[in-house]
Amino acid sequence: MKPLRVALMQLSAGTDVDRNLAKVDELLGEVSDVDLVALPEVFSARGKHDDYVNSAEPIPGPATEHLSSIARRLDAWILAGSIIEESAEGIYNTSVLLDRTGAIAAQYRKIHLFEAVLDNGQVIKETDTYKAGDQPVLADIEGWKCGMSICYDLRFPEMYRHYALQDAHLLFVPANFTQRTGRDHWETLVRARAIENQCFVVAPDQCGTNPSTGVVSHGHSMVVGPWGEILCCAGDAERVITVELDPKEIAATRARIPVIEHRKLL
């Protein structure tokens, strides 16, 4: 494997799909010489239940077509963090990976759907909007084996161990973590998934306030190395940060402490 140069986008999306896609174009305006661009969950439309129903689209569809043109322009892979997918079975929260030609290389439907009661009593229940996926997806980016996931999946370590046992090198966690849970858990969980599986973790997050719900997203998009070190972090505002991932770090970490080899089933 060659080193992978990653551009991580932190976005504050609203309900207007065209405006959100224009913001993606704007943020990527000065990006060049990258191998992968990673976008957060619900990058093309962030709102409430009705907004998601109204913005749902098939895959392939308008959002993937828009990103395909970006992939070709940048000659880079694109992780479409998640698109609200309209299908015959219902609506899914789906992550899509596009290759350098803009073709769909892999897609993953979110398995674990978020449910929580916020401090103000507001209930968030994704099962009211989405159907749950049922298949983990291990994608390949030019030799890099990449485990796909979305946001709330981060709290279920067995999913990432499944990928690690298939020799994953990189774990994707595009997210829309709330500020409250993000402040207490985001960094800890992202670093834990990297440490226990000795993989890079690429975790682009939403920031700012959801205009339909008033819920603030945490931001602090980050890339973490296989030793658990934070390689870059975006803070609170919209921005793109870049980092180069060296595959030699995976081998060095696994040689130092061969966790997978030592694993025993209890």
How far apart (Å, rounded) are the C-alpha atoms in residues 217 and 100? 30
- Give the residue from 159, 158, 156, 209 showing the smallest Cα distance to 180: 209
How far apart (Å, rounded) are the C-alpha atoms in residues 147 and 155? 15
Over residues 101-119, the pLDDT tens digits come to 999 999 999 999 998 887 7
* Catalytic (active site) residue 207: no
* Catalytic (active site) residue 110: yes
User: Quick one: how far is CA 78 from the chain centroid?
Assistant: 11
* Catalytic (active site) residue 151: yes
Contacts for 100 with CB less than 8 Å, ≥ 6 apart = 71, 72, 75, 76, 77
Over residues 199-243, the pLDDT tens digits come to 999 999 999 999 999 999 999 999 999 999 999 999 999 999 999
Three-state secondary-structure class, residue 107: strand
- Give the residue from 240, 222, 219, 246 showing the smallest Cα distance to 7: 240
Residues of the chain with confidence (pLDDT) below 70:
none
Pick the catalytic residue from 23, 41, 126, 199. Answer: 41
pLDDT of residue 69: 98
Please answer whether residues 42 and 176 qualify as being in contact, where contact means their C-beta atoms are separated by less than 8 angstroms: yes
Q: CATH code for 4-262?
A: 3.60.110.10
Pick the catalytic residue from 23, 85, 110, 126. Answer: 110
pLDDT of residue 120: 77
Please answer whether residues 145 and 170 qualify as being in contact, where contact means their C-beta atoms are separated by less than 8 angstroms: yes
Task: Give the domain ranges of the chain.
Answer: 4-262
Pick the catalytic residue from 23, 126, 145, 151. Answer: 151
pLDDT of residue 118: 75
pLDDT of residue 1: 92
